[in-house]
Amino acid sequence: MSELEIAIGMLIDVFARYAGADGNRQSLSKGELKVLLEKELPGFLESGRDKDTVEKLLKDLDANGDATVDFNEFIVFVAALTSACHKFFQQEGAN
């Protein structure tokens, strides 16, 4: 498999690993999203503001208004985060 195919598979696996702990395997609840962020993106949450950050992120990601993050909404988050990181490293390289 190519690196991109492996990366796609890993994204699917990460989502599946955290979705369903609260019942629905097709989406992340607020609690599941928080655990995913804590374990997979430990630098993303700020100590003491975790609850507010997760609630705001859930609201921002929840395009269909069902109070969960489905796989498509999760991928939008991953793509936006990846784009922000890419821009950051491009700027760092220019300095």
Identify which of 51, 61, 52, 63 has the alpha carbon closest to the alpha carbon of residue 81.
61
pLDDT tens per residue across span 24-37: 999 999 999 999 99
Domains of the chain and CATH, by start: 3-94 (1.10.238.10)
**Band (9; pLDDT cuts 50, 70, 90):** very high
| Mean local confidence (pLDDT), 1-28 | 96
**Helix/strand/coil (H/E/C) assignment for every residue in the chain:** CCHHHHHHHHHHHHHHHHCCCCCCCCEECHHHHHHHHHHHCCCCCCCCCHHHHHHHHHHHHCCCCCCCEEHHHHHHHHHHHHHHHHHHHHHHHHC
Entry pTM: 0.83
What is the tens place of the pLDDT at every residue in 37-72?
A: 999 988 877 655 566 788 888 899 999 999 999 999
pLDDT at 93: 64
